[in-house]
Amino acid sequence: MSATEATRARPSWWRRRRTREAGLAALFLAPSVVVFGAFFFYPIGRIVYLGFFQQNQTRTRQRWVGTEQYVEVLTGDEFREGLSITVRYVLYTVPAGLVLGVLLAVAANRRLRGIKIFHTIFASTVATSVAVASIVWLVLINPTVGYLEVDWLRDPDRALFGVALSSIWQNLGLTFIIVLAGLQAIPEEINEAATVDGMSPTRRFFTVTLPMLSPTLLFLVVVLTVFAFQAFAQIDILTNGGPAGSTETLVFKIFQQQQGGAVGEGSVMAVGLFVITFLVALGQFLLLERRVHYGSDRA
């Protein structure tokens, strides 16, 4: 008897049950489908669609140009320059933020009286908005009234690093909380066994703690990288893309394109940024997954 004949031969109550289960599953999935459709799939489709058109300055008319605009924009100097600045911003923020968060979490992962106060202080930046963090660092590195009295934000060679400092500081609380939770999830017996074996604290950290913490670090690398690729508000507040365009990331360039009649070009840049971010995140998962230790379930 074939599979189709076997299905037809089953009792009617079984088929009705399967129908009810399918309807119930569709009912539970409907809110997610609606939300994703309205706030993700439709905007992405709309942006891809706009990339095939060129608009006039008043946005009253548009002309079909097809894939020619995609090729021209994605291979142009403007897109490459924005991508280069964005990659530098990622390199400034992600490694430094990850290392500082791990160091703070390791230092605070102790059973001491009053340690919760330091937990609160280290995690406090997670409640700080991008605008507040940017203003704080605008005051700190102001050459006239700042505490550091440096002129980084007006120096084309250092402006991007000055902006990156605000992002590193703002994301430090999130990194600290997640790493601290990962450290506290490591069984004490493992560290005790390593101590009995005569391992020094440094060796114990690199051979025991860090491998056990690798799933947490993988998650943070992906999240911080996505945050860096999407950076805009801190650049808009601190430098407005200057000096001399040295801090114009891809997101900032996309924003500039929306001010005139270059909506099509901005849409193409947005599609390019989405694809690059997706490929970078996917590559991180595929490459770093091999070095991630998930516990005793993997031999």
Give me the residues paired with residue 43 across strands.
none
pLDDT of residue 293: 60
Element of type H or E holding 62: strand 62-64
What is the model's pTM? 0.84
**What is the tens place of the pLDDT at every residue in 20-29?**
888 888 889 8
Quickly list DSSP for 181-235: HHHHTS-HHHHHHHHHTT--HHHHIIIIIHHHHHHHHHHHHHHHHHHHHT--HHH
Q: List, for residues 76-105, the tens digit of each pLDDT value.
A: 999 999 999 999 999 999 999 999 999 999
Domain 76-291 of CATH type 1.10.3720.10: yes
Residue 297 is predicted with a pLDDT of 46
Does residue 218 contact residue 273 with C-beta atoms inside 8 Å? no
pLDDT at 260: 62
Cβ-Cβ contacts under 8 Å for 211 (sequence gap 6 or more): 293
Residues 239, 257: Cα–Cα separation, whole Å: 18
Question: Does residue 283 have a pLDDT over 70?
Answer: yes
Report pLDDT digits (tens) over 132-177: 999 888 888 877 777 777 888 888 999 999 999 999 999 999 999 9
> What tens digit of pLDDT does each residue of 204-247 get?
888 888 888 888 898 899 999 999 999 999 999 999 998 888 99
The ranges assigned to domains in the chain are 3-69, 76-291
- Average pLDDT of the residues of the chain: 85
The 10s digit of each residue's pLDDT in 101-114 is 999 999 898 888 88
d(CA 162, CA 137): 8
